Chain A
């Protein structure tokens, strides 16, 4: 290809033309492989759509339940649980990540133990344990001063929040730790040199820079969290999955209602992905062309 152009140029020169590519007619390269691959993809997509369109699915039922009160209520609960559990996870994650940098071996060890324990036990199991906490601690509080019965406190929502959030914190702490490690020592020294103490330096200088590394995996985990909330249906928390189930137990339209739930999960995740992109651009400020040009 290059050789051809070269030869043409040489010929053009021999004919006395200037060496200017724009005076030639350009012949585009043919991408036969790409056309073929595109055709295969299109055929498969059409086939899948056809299968669903002609399958035993009453789309009108899905459509009808898409905005049913129960479903929308469940959707709200899903979003609420996902956001709060993720917030709890991020707060715990940041604290535990900072603990990992502590000079005190006990604090360090406690952080490691937390990650080990909550990363090692399945989320579903943790949820059930929190929900049944009353079996171990019948009451919570300071004896004599104030006390609550654990069964009253551990509502399905609260159990799910603790189960998911604390579990998430174990993962997030590793993400945050990686982010903190990615900021060079010189930044911490420069912050110290203008008289900042440790927390100030972390909050103003180190964490904002670490965010660039932290955000993509956190976004990923947030999206994971939206779907993990469906576990809460097991302890009768009425999120969108539980709502769909409660409807199809009655009317037997299983696949139609599963599609309703799937639709809403996709919507929530799409919105989240969009927000993640915006946030990433914000934290990329001053960080070079590659990350700004997106």
Chain B
């Protein structure tokens, strides 16, 4: 028993080394911007670069639009499928794999070919980019929402709400969405992370986005890309921490209210 436990700790430690060693190395490397001293000069260089801010805020904007459009499209669809056509679930699951199977470059060329001539000349509109991002983010959004719906007895709750007089709007806003909070948050952060770093679509549709900027930096600089990598790690972890904190605080609040009245 004891031996077993020691062994699992060993595996855990190995895993941590495998995971953290490159990260630590990258971090150390990113601090070498100045000869012979450790400094944050590479980070400073990143932040003072006006293109960094411009591309980052453009991508953030696109990411937010993608989140809004993606959730508006996918959440009601997922609810509808769960309630009305549960048999279609496996089919949708196959659809969610398509963005992984089909390389984004094919998606990009498809979009360009279809939307570059009238009556649908949208190539120069950011709407097309967002539409493409919604496709890329679709698996993540759908699977988060699907997991959230599976965890909540959607059918039972919706029937209870309906018998109490609730229509679809009430059902959605008073019952389903509040109980989907954790799922929606994780869908949101995943989408943000994916879209902000996305390279292919932005490149081929020729938008000044953050993904192409990072790729460019990677080719031309030494320390700044490492600094960017460390920062994006930090951002992702921050987002995960935020999801945890927000969902936990929701639970604590409810628990607190209950004990208060006891």
Chain A complexes with chain B: no
- Which A residues contact B (CB, under 8 angstroms)? none
